[in-house]
Every structure is written in C-alpha cells, then in structure tokens.
Structure 1
Amino acid sequence: MITKLRLYQFRNITSLELPITKKSIVLYGENGSGKTNILEAISLFSVGKGLRNDSAFNMENITSAPKSGWSSTITLNGDLKLQTNLEPQLDSSLKRTAKIQGDNIRSHMQFSEWLHVLWITPETDQLFLDAPAKRRKFVDRFVYAKDKLHLKRVIKFESATRQRLKLLKSQQKPNEEWLTAIEQTIAEEGVALAFARYHLLQDLSKFQPQGKEEGILTSFTAKMDGPFEDLLSMGSSLKIEDAFRQKLFDNRVRDKESGITLFGPHRSDLNVTHHIKDMNAFQCSTGEQKILLLAMIISFMESVCFNNEQLTIFLLDDAMAHLDAHHRFVLFHRLIANQDKNFQAWFSGTDRYLFKDLEENADFFYVPGLHQKCNRPNKCTLSLERREDPRNYILN
C-alpha cells in the first residue's frame, strides 16, 4: 500500500507530505481546499492524464517560478519509491518524466507492474448519461487492472483503425496486401479486447454482493451491447476474426464514404440493467445510478482486487455526498472486512461525519484552504497529520 505521499509545487500545493498507516484514507475540508488535487496527484501513476484528463503543464503551482515543474512521489510498503514529474530541461523546456527508485523509466506504463489506479469522480456520476466512448473507457480501465495486455490491444486496435481509414480515404488506390494486413490486425486485436470486456463484465455480475448480511445493494447485469457482440456467439476466436475481417472488407466503400469505421467493438456500448426495476441505468434516478456504480465497484473489488497480488488504488472523489447512510455503510463494511487484501481506498469529502463508519479503520486528514492561514502563498508548506483532534494541522 501507499505509506507516504509527497507533492511539490503541484496545483495549489507548494509542498505536502502525508504519512499513511491504513488501507483507507479520508481527506476532508472545505470546497476548493485541494482535496481533489491530492487525489489527482495519485491518479497520475496510471496511464494517461489522470482523473481530470488535464495537461501536465496545467498542474504547475501558479505561485511558483515559471517553468519550475512539479513532482508527485509515492512510497509503497515503506521502501519502493515511484515518482512522476514535470521536470525542467537544459533548454528551459519542461518534460514529463517517470522514475522508480530514482531511476528514469521509459514509460508510465511500467508503474502498472506495481499498482493500478481507478477512480470515481463527480463527473463519473454522469457515466450512464454520457457518450458511449466514456463508458467503453470506464470498462477498459477495469479490464486493464485485471489484464495488463489490454491497453496494448486497445492502442494497436485504434492505431490500425486509423491507418485503414487513412488508406481508404487517400486519392490513390491502396495497396491491397497492406490493407488486408491492417484489417487482419484490427480483427485480431478487436476480438481479443471484446472478449476481455465480456469476461470482466461477467465477473462483475458473478461477484456482486448478495444477501442481507452484506447490506442490500442493487443487483445488476452489465454487458457490452452492439452488433459486434453478436459475433461473439459464433464459437472460436478464429471464426470470429474471420467474420470480422470479412465485414471490414465488405464495408470498405461505406467506411470510405462515411469517414468512420462502421463496425467493430469501438461501436459497442456498456449496458447496465437495474434488476429490481428491470430498467436500463440511463433511465434510473441520479441516486440509483450512483448506487449502481457503487455496486459495480464492490463487485470489481470482490472479483479482481481482493484476489490480486498487485496493489489496486481506488480514488473516490466526493463520492459519498449523495449516498444515504445505509449504502455508505455497505461500502465501508466491505473495505473493513477485507483489510488483509491488496488494495487501498482514498476518499474525499467536505464533511467528516460521512465517514464515521470508518472511524477506527482509516487515516483522517483535514485539508485546510491555504488562504485561511497563510499570507505568503509562495512560501507555504502544507503538512497534514492525524492526531486526536483530526482538525489539527500544521501550516508553515
């Protein structure tokens, strides 16, 4: 688990060090104090741009000297140090870098050998109302935590799809052998990623909490839905790949004219059904949608994280605000019951009382607004410590 977090010149934080002792961490304080910034700094140890999907250049502390960069460092189990930075270069530019034990690594993907990071943010609450691409990405992040090859499949599939469209739209007649080879790659990677999504969602349905002793959560069915999924019932992967490749061949003219690839797993959508109401998630109320998300998270914990040697970090940003006391208890109860498993959960919220069921099983940190105490913003060092009175903090 993460046993220490250090931030330097990140967002509104000039300097921060958090010593961690528990599997659950609660950051609480007023709006705008920087709680989400702390979670974002952890999310950057995943592939991509983090939970805000923002440019690294926008994460620099606005009170620091121009182009001074920033750093986020986590220590795992007291000895393994991972670091992601925006570092000044000799030519005065800034470059995103990643390090393990102080040594530069080629890609942030190498962090996945040690941990995987997933998050729920207020934006995630709109998942069932958002565009299908957002839901596919949500599922793919879950799959990636279980299968490290999945991200490479997605990248290869998307790259080959773009190459094919570029060839089809070119003025010259494309090389037939080259086009066929690209379609073969699309078929192989597309079928593999579709099956990975299928098996992940099957596991979620299988491992969802059941029974009154666990607290009654909304039961659900989750599956990928679309014309491509009809192929998955054909039998062997080779047969499905052949059928997909033939479909790509047949659609060349249509794809060229439309400018998009009309058939494939990239056109599928996540379909979640509320069992009790027999209703699609997008038709449910905001509260019901949040409970469905919570049920999926707990199922994922049960099916993957609690049986995985690799550390999984959950970041839940303001996720408790609209849950009733019962459903908060259900989530916290599952976390407490599985303290021996390889996961860690980070929560943020404005009110401490929302987390009272975690009182003896979490590190609580009060995050003050820097403007409250410091009249020298560019000189402030923020240090949070857990004490008897959790509202005690040091701000130099």
Structure 2
Amino acid sequence: MATPARAAGRAPVRFRRLALMDFRSYARAEVALDGRPVALFGPNGAGKTNLLEALSLLGPGRGLRSARLDELPRVGGAGGWAVSARLDVAGEERRLGVGAAASAPDRRICRIDETAAAGPAALAEHVRFLWLTPAQDRLFTDSPGERRRFLDRMALARNPAQARAAADYELAMRQRQRLLDERSRDEAWLAALETRMAEAGVALAAARRETASALAAAEIAAGDEDAGFPAADIALEGELEAALDAAPAAEVEEAFAERLRRNRAADAAAGRALIGPHRSDLLVTHRQKGTPARACSTGEQKALLIGLVLANARALALSARFRAGASAPLVLLLDEIAAHLDKDRRAALFDILDGLDFQVFMTGTDKSLFAAWGARAQGFAVEDGGLTETTLT
C-alpha cells in the first residue's frame, strides 16, 4: 500500500502533553509525549478508551463516543471535568482545553491559548481527529445511518464547515416535520424551511461526493500493494448525490425544494421526510473479489474498514490545502484494532502509519501487540487510572 510523501515545507504538529481532571475514570492524570506514535495498553476497563475520548473532545463534535456532557465527569468527583493539551505547532506552543464546571455541567467550555473560544467549532482550526473504534466493526452490516455518519465524520476531517451544513439540514428537517405533524397551513414558513433543507442538503451531499471521490482516488493510488488491507471500490447511493453528477448545485437545490413541496402530504402521513441526503448510503465493495463489503467475512470487513480510514488519511495528506499548511493537522485515534490483526498485518499497519506524518494514538490489551513498532512508538501501560511509560519490546 503506497504512502504519501511527507508534505514538503510543512512541519508536523504533535501533542506534547495531555492532562485530565475528574474525567471518566481519571481523578487526575498527566502524560508527557515526545511526538512519536503512542501505544496505550492494559486490561479491559483500565481507561485506555477514556484517554482517546479525552483527546477527541479537543476537536469539534461530541467525541468518539458521542457522549452527553453529563456522562463525562468522574463518578465521585466534584461534578466538573477538564481536559487540556499542549501542542507543538511548527516549533511554537499551542494550548487547547475543554471541560465543564460543576455549576454548569451542560455547558462545554473551550479555551485556546488560555482564551475562551467561541465554541467547539473553533478547535477545528488547530487540530482534527479521525478515529476507528470497535463500535464501528458492524459498519457494513449495520443500518445506512451508521455508514452516513462514518462518511460525514471523514468529510468533517476534510472540511469542518461540513458540521454546519449537517446541523442546518437536521434542524430544518425537524422543524418542517413538526409543522407537517401539526397540519400547519403556514405555506411561507414551510417553503422557507424547504429552501433551507435544499441548500444545506445539497451542501451535505456535495461534501460526501468530494470525500468519496478522494477516498476512491486514494484507494486507486494505493492499488493492491498491501494485501493485508484490500483495496475497495466506493460509491454513493442517494438522489441528491446522483443529481449532482448531472447538474449544477443551484439547479439541484431548486429541484429538491420543489420535490419537498410536492411531498408534504406523503411526509406528513409517514411522519418523516421520505427524500433527502438523510436516506443516502455508502456502498463499499472488495475490489479484488468483487464482493459487497456486507457479504465479506468478519476479518475482511475489518481489513476493509481499516483500509478506508487509511485511505482518508492518505487523501488528506495529499490534499493541496494540507500540503500548503492551510488545513489543520490530523490526529488518528485507533481503538483496539491491533487485536484483530495477525502479526504481519500489524507490522504492515505500523509501517503505513509511520509514512503518514500524522500523530497516532492506538490502544490494545497487551504490550506484545505493539512489539513490531518497537522504539518507533512511545508506550504507556494503563491501569487503575494511571499511566506508566515503558518500552514496547
């Protein structure tokens, strides 16, 4: 599997320190990082995934568990929680922090260089995260909604503005459905909401198409050089995505708004919008076998899933904005994926990750899973709410 050349002239961005206070299972923890990939190992329940979640909350969104804020404080703690980090950005220090006070547990506080940020979206200007967790193992056999969310998270890593389009679409769709459920005759308000749905929905579909195209290009560039992670063919199934292949966005918006208007009675009867990007699907096929991912073996599905995440990372590394330094750096969070791979595949994965020039955090139950990384990675034993640095060999 090919790996991209390191971006010329761009200095890597690395986490150098991570601190947690009253977060999940951690009363207080602080870890110094030296910029190498990080391997976290320890028994189930030790708190490895909690550390990855803490990192993921330093970006936009609700983190890799999509948790509510009231789920994050440590049981038995004071009620608030905090996560802070120090980053090295081209030789300059940058500080990020998130948390919630016990007096306002439902309000997420974000700080950048000790200054209050407007909100989580501002964090995306400094760092973005892409993750893979055991919860995603059923991606190809789960509902289309899970695959849409997976694709949208990859699109968000490419362009944080994607989050606004998704939020605007969901809000307008809910408000329109409420009016339909109430048998409202407010034509002007319904039309305004349908226009908003059309604008945001087409933007959402366009971002998905761009991401899928970048993934496909990265998969083609990689070819079948690494048999451990089979190449995939990627396609989108959705009316708006297909319409954008044949017409400009403005025409697709107008046509979608008109279809929503004509579909009001059907949507009112169904209790939901029957058309739109919320019904699209991501279709993945094992290229060499020509088999849909949903029909592949469990092991093949896992390898395909890892391959998609790596393809997105490669696509980001090769993008013009990233290479020019105009895009925030990416950090990969890979939870418990080494355990599903044999020794050769693990070694191949570590080699691929080394070539991406992104900081990587991985978890596993046993140190031996990371032996092939050796001195190339920084190892930490995680147990009883604490971390101890150790070698991986």
Where in structure 1 are there 5+ consecutive unaligned residues?
Answer: 371-381, 392-396
2:93 equivalent in structure 1: 79
Match of 1:259 among 247, 268, 271: 271
Show CA shifts across 1:134-191 (max 9, x none): 21111111111111221111111111111221222224412x2332222122112211
Q: CA deviation at 1:305?
A: 3.5
**Counterpart check, 1:135 vs 2:139:** no
1:5 equivalent in structure 2: 18
1:331 equivalent in structure 2: 349
Q: CA deviation at 1:215?
A: 5.2
1:42 equivalent in structure 2: 55
**CA distance in 1 between partners of 2:258 and 2:224 (Å):** 50
Where in structure 2 are there 5+ consecutive unaligned residues?
Answer: 1-13
Match of 2:102 among 88, 107, 111: 88
Q: CA deviation at 1:120?
A: 0.8
Q: CA deviation at 1:326?
A: 2.7
Q: SS of the counterpart of 1:127?
A: coil
1:365 equivalent in structure 2: 380
**CA distance in 2 between partners of 1:199 and 1:357 (Å):** 35
**CA distance in 2 between partners of 1:62 and 1:194 (Å):** 41
Show CA shifts across 1:223-272 (max 9, x none): 22134433223321122122212211211110111111101111111111
Counterpart residue type for residue 165 of structure 1: Q
Counterpart residue type for residue 83 of structure 1: G
Change in Cα spacing, 1:211 to 1:51, as seen in structure 2 (3 Å) is closer
Query: Is the 1:22–1:361 contact (alpha carbons within 8 Å) kept by the matching residues of 2?
Result: no
Match of 2:282 among 255, 270, 276: 270
Match of 2:129 among 108, 111, 117: 117
**CA distance in 2 between partners of 1:181 and 1:93 (Å):** 35
Query: Is the 2:40–2:381 contact (alpha carbons within 8 Å) kept by the matching residues of 1?
Result: yes
Q: SS of the counterpart of 2:312?
A: helix
Q: CA deviation at 1:125?
A: 0.6
2:71 equivalent in structure 1: 58
Match of 2:236 among 219, 224, 236: 224
Show CA shifts across 1:345-379 (max 9, x none): 10000112222221121111111235xxxxxxxxx
**Counterpart check, 1:319 vs 2:342:** no
1:292 equivalent in structure 2: 304
**Counterpart check, 1:205 vs 2:216:** yes
Q: SS of the counterpart of 1:148?
A: coil
**CA distance in 1 between partners of 2:316 and 2:184 (Å):** 49
Q: SS of the counterpart of 1:234?
A: coil
**CA distance in 2 between partners of 1:150 and 1:212 (Å):** 31
**Counterpart check, 1:280 vs 2:257:** no
Change in Cα spacing, 1:132 to 1:211, as seen in structure 2 (3 Å) is closer
Counterpart residue type for residue 84 of structure 2: T
**CA distance in 2 between partners of 1:304 and 1:94 (Å):** 33
Q: Normalising by structure 1, what TM-score?
A: 0.88
Q: SS of the counterpart of 1:235?
A: coil
Show CA shifts across 1:252-306 (max 9, x none): 1101111111011111111111112211111111111111111111111111145
Q: SS of the counterpart of 2:214?
A: helix
Q: Normalising by structure 2, what TM-score?
A: 0.88
2:254 equivalent in structure 1: 242
**CA distance in 1 between partners of 2:105 and 2:212 (Å):** 44
Q: CA deviation at 1:93?
A: 6.1
Aligned length: 370
Q: Which has the greater radius of gyration?
A: 1
Q: CA deviation at 1:212?
A: 6.3
Query: Is the 2:97–2:110 contact (alpha carbons within 8 Å) kept by the matching residues of 1?
Result: yes
The CA RMSD over aligned residues, in Å, is 2.0
Show CA shifts across 1:88-119 (max 9, x none): 33xx8674311112222221111001011121
Counterpart residue type for residue 121 of structure 1: T
Matches within 5 A, 1:115-194: 115-174=127-186, 176-194=187-205
**CA distance in 2 between partners of 1:48 and 1:337 (Å):** 28
Query: Is the 1:4–1:17 contact (alpha carbons within 8 Å) kept by the matching residues of 2?
Result: yes
**CA distance in 1 between partners of 2:337 and 2:303 (Å):** 10
